[in-house]
A and B are shown apart, each in its own frame.
Chain A
């Protein structure tokens, strides 16, 4: 149980385009989902926390207009990188936390390459 999926696993796009990444909890309802970014050889950096039906809370230094997060249901959160540029190339990982549990379950990650 407690499986989180991400789609797509890989995406290559041209500079200036927008990219949407989906995060789904497959067998549980997630009241809270988290989006992380990871650069090579570095740890995870929390970008934002999203709660179903409300606006996401962004970490300091993360542009909310560039990284749009929507948590429309208890099983789906999306991250849209708007007008992507090469510096946005990274590994994006989501996690989901079930209600009344204090552990996060992580997705397999999405690698974004902006040319």
Chain B
């Protein structure tokens, strides 16, 4: 059974810092991995999707990497801003058409 873990559970940083969020999964045979953002009381917004054949994806100040062999992914946020404050969730899909398995999330607070 695939399990997804995110570390740290919470992170508080001053504005402008670069930061890394970690995601690990127990079964390296994944189809893809996705990072989401969730604001309080809201749904999920997809940030980056990495296919199993890819090593990284970038969007603006966000960069996500994937190392399937070690069962790890990182989300790098450059020059953090207060508007980045949210909970970040990673999720893996094991096979095409299968469900998403979510981690518990990292609650990020960026202080002005």
Q: Which residues of A contact B (CB under 8 A)?
A: 4, 6, 32, 34, 42-44, 46, 49, 91, 93, 95, 102-109, 111
Contacts and interface: CB of A to CB of B under 8 A. Distances in A.
Contact of B96 (A102, A105, A108, A109): A102
SS of A interface (majority): strand
Contacts of A105: 46
B97 to A, nearest CB: 8
B102 interface: yes
Interface string B36-50: 100001111110010
B45 to A, nearest CB: 8
B32 interface: yes
Interface string B54-80: 000000000000000000000000000
A106 B104 contact: no
